Structure 1
Amino acid sequence: MLIFILTGALAVSAQAEITLEAYTDEIFGLESVVPETWTEVSPGLYVRSAFENDPTWIAQQAAPVPANTALNALLPQMGLTEAPEPAGEREANGLTWTLYETEVSIPVHASMDLALASFGGRTFLVALNAVPDERDALYEAVFLPAVDALRPWAGPEATDLPYAQEEVQIENGDVTLAGTLTLPPGDGPHPAVVLVSGSGPQDRDESLAPVSSIRPFRLIADALTRNGIAVLRYDDRGTAESTGDYNTATLHDFASDAQAAIDYLMSRDDIDPEQVGILGHSEGGLVAAMLAAGDTDLAFLIALAGPAVGGHELLEVQNRRLMETAGASEEQIEGQLEFLRQAFELVNVQDWGALETLLEDTVRDQIEDLPESQRAVLGDVDAYVEQVLETQMETFRSDWFASFLAYDPVEDWQSVTIPVLAIFGGLDVQVDAEQNVPPLEAALAVAENPDVTIVTIPNANHLFQEAITGGVQEYGMLEPDFTDELLPTIIDWLAERVQVATE
């Protein structure tokens, strides 16, 4: 999930002398330093607030994408249409940083220094936004010390694991997927499962920075392997250590990658080819349905928040639920839904000019509805609108978005006859349980599937954390772990359907 957050912070405290303090960011997986009196207003983003509307902040973040992808994603946020020329390089802590200097106007005119370094399939970022007159002093006192101090942090290493971990590579045409296979003790052959991630570029742990420090697939792999089931998880194509281009991939490309992972498992002597299944989270549930509908060799299917309706329907309810938890009025919600309906029609006919006009009109109307204090934070409104247009149009025009809107999973679910465990979160605002459970039940009934288990965990959100509202804004405030029910439900269900190898 590529989400660098660089703007939108408001001042909250005053700054005198600069004293740096060390810190560890578990969400982005890094260690560095930051001015001790600057305030973290969102993950990895610290503001100074020395005076009213002070634009000075520093961001230190990471994402599982190549450096050029990260830089291109940042350009709209900086109000730029092309990347600035590198200003130099710097070596520190085994990282090679590329340094950039530029001027930005969002939300106000300021100097920005940017440093990018790649390591272990991730790109690390340090960005300093400052008043031009203060840039040189803050560059020396804050920016360079942060660059020199930053180092990757993988979290506390588990010791004495009761299973083996093997780094693997999976070939799928011109794409090489990098992954981790965890194997229970003994020679096997073991039952096994392939984990397929949700939307957005995800690493093998399904890391969700800056949203949360939870790593769902690492938790699932650990739990299942401790219970005798081998688990293969991999970086999405074009993400972390996998090759390929994520940005040009479609839903069907991701299904092809998952099939390659399944084929890889079935080719191994220590894996039982008759006991290989698939577990998909969110969009990964769509991939699971695609593959299970056409592959009777799979032994089982587990869908965590797996959609059972088409993209249009899913996104309408998703937007309503997201806006409700964010406190939007019914008028605002209906306005957004009407925009989506019109936008989807224009995407279907690829009328990009009309779509851009619709998007610009909608964004400007939304800005007009903001209180004056919030409009002031945006700075140059025209520049802000251009930023939004560029980012949103890139998504709307992507091959992935077209494939997502066009795919209706009902037909595939109607062909799935292998054992199915589908788990939903009762507070999930991204894949609504009430919307998706009934059509899933109906589709599997058409399939005459004799082994279907559908569970809704009442207080679980989309990540299956114990939630309060289910809103995305609270993901990072919750414990980075699952509800008590999730893993036992999966483990107990599998125990009744697979034969674990004896040591």
Structure 2
Amino acid sequence: MMLSLLLAATLAAAPPAATELKAGPADALAGTLLKPVGKSRAAMIIIPGSGPTDRDGNSPAGIKAAPYRKLAEALAERGVATVRIDKRGMFGSAAAGNPNEATFSAYDADTRAWVESARKATGQRCVWVAGHSEGGLVAMRAANAPDVCGAVLLTTPGEKLGDTIRKQLRANPALAPYLPPAERALGELEAGRKVSIDGILPALGQSLFNPAVQGFMIELLAQDPSKLAAAIKRPLLIVQGGHDVQVGLANGDVLKKAAPRASYALFPAMNHVLSDAPAERAANLATYAEADRPLTAGLADRVAAFVTGAK
């Protein structure tokens, strides 16, 4: 009897098992499926943000906070299955193509493939799409697609990217001498024209205006988050962090205004990597490398309640 009780307790305490999941043509897209112990109450895809961000939310650029993994684990404890993915051409999805040649149309197709794969793997009638930062644009584009329940936007831009870039460039006094050529280049990309990086500060030319990704930048600059949000007919949750130094509070306000029927959740101390952090910029950014910093309290509860229907 004692052995049976101990075995039952051990099984009850067993953590959810993570498994590799594939999607797309030739199964070239890879992600991690995390299902709760017992029956899943909902299923959700977590779409990464910009740049070389992996399925856990980490990046070779020094981000080690693993926000997507932490969110997935917390949601599993609340009965929600998740699939967190590697973007095409990166990490486990390297075989899906050159990441520098990615387009929003390609991301749309990838999201549809992930929805089908996740739906089959979890047995759910429909799947939620959650996008973090730039990934929120991809989620909004997919929100009305067949077999999608709705969308969750995690610290997603509300204003057009060009406006955000200008604000960030002008906010840095050290960049003042280099602004004219940078802003001219930005205007050209917004007009749909590729530019030479000659005469642009090398640090900006090789990152913001990198010729290898200018095709995607042109597409990205053309996205209007407020119009995307306004067009969503399915349930929508907008999540905003009060201490997000990358996607500030005004972005959540823009999205709320565009989609007044959406649910909105503000976590006053949350930063861009979904953890509570100081408001001061340098201290805030330092938390991006803190692997042990916990997920913002209440975030997983709010997301789980929304996707399982208790809005």
Aligned pairs for 1:26-425 within 5 A: 161-171=14-24, 173=25, 176-186=28-38, 188=39, 190-242=41-93, 243=95, 244-268=97-121, 270-274=122-126, 276-292=127-143, 294-295=144-145, 297-320=147-170, 323=172, 329=173, 332=174, 338-347=180-189, 348=191, 350=193, 352=195, 355-359=196-200, 363=201, 389=205, 393-395=209-211, 397-425=213-241
Q: TM-score, normalised by structure 2?
A: 0.83
Does residue 462 in structure 1 map to residue 304 in structure 2?
Answer: no
Q: Is 1:475 the equivalent of 2:291? A: no
8 Å Cα contact 1:282-1:307 kept in structure 2? yes
CA distance in 2, matches of 1:248, 1:175: 19
Please tell me whether the aligned partners of residues 238 and 256 of structure 2 are also in contact (alpha carbons under 8 angstroms): no
Does the 8 A contact of 1:290 with 1:409 survive in 2?
no
The Cα of 1:309 is off from its aligned counterpart by: 1.9
Alpha carbons of structure 1 residues 456 and 388: separation in structure 2 relative to 1, 3 Å: closer
Structure number, greater radius of gyration: 1
Q: CA deviation at 1:495?
A: 4.2
> SS at the partner of 1:273?
coil
Deviations 1:431-473 (A, max 9, x none): 1222x1232122113xxx3xx2212222222112222224464
Query: Aligned partners of 2:106, 2:58: CA distance in 1, in Å?
Result: 21
Q: Secondary structure at the match of 2:28?
A: strand
1:27-81 superposed Cα distances (whole Å, 9 cap, x missing partner): xxxxxxxxxxxxxxxxxxxxxxxxxxxxxxxxxxxxxxxxxxxxxxxxxxxxxxx
1:454–1:396 distance in 2 versus 1, CA, 3 Å: farther
Residues 371-412 of structure 1: per-residue CA shift (max 9 Å, x gap): xxxxxxxxxxxxxx5x87555542575322111111112222
Distance 1:316 1:252, change over 3 A: farther
**1:300 CA displacement:** 2.6
| Farther-moved stretch of structure 1 (388-397 vs 201-210) | 388-397
When structure 1 is superposed on structure 2, of 213-222 and 416-425 the one drifting more is: 416-425
**Bigger relative contact order, structure 1 or 2 (CA pairs below 8 A, ≥6 apart):** 2
Q: Where is the helix percentage greater, Structure 1 or Structure 2?
A: 2
Quick check: 1:191–1:271 contact (8 Å CA) kept in 2?
Answer: no
What SS does the corresponding residue of 2:125 show, helix, strand or coil?
A: strand
CA contact (8 A) 2:273 2:288 kept: no
For 1:267, what is the secondary structure of its paired residue? helix
Q: CA deviation at 1:357?
A: 3.5
Distance 2:276 2:65 in 1: 12
Aligned partners of 1:397, 1:199: CA distance in 2, in Å?
Answer: 12
What amino acid maps onto 1:488 in structure 2? D
Q: Distance in 2 between matches of 1:470 and 1:350?
A: 33
1:10-25 matches, within 5 Å, as none
Letter in 1 for 2:108: A
CA distance, structure 2, for counterparts of residue 248 and residue 494 of structure 1: 33
> In 2 relative to 1, CA 203–161 (structure 1 residues): closer, same or farther, beyond 3 Å?
farther
* 2:140 counterpart letter in structure 1: A
Deviates more, 1:483-492 or 1:242-251: 483-492
Whichever residue aligns with residue 299 of structure 1, its letter is C
C-alpha separation between the residues in 1 aligned to 2:254 and 2:230? 10
> Per residue, is there more strand in 1 or in 2?
1
Cα separation, partners in 2 of 1:278 and 1:320, compared to 1, 3 Å = farther
Q: Which moved more, 1:473-482 or 1:395-404?
A: 473-482
Match of 1:484, SS?
coil
In structure 1, runs of 5+ residues without a counterpart are: 1-159, 324-328, 364-384, 499-503
Q: Which amino acid aligns with 1:486?
A: L
Count matched residues: 293
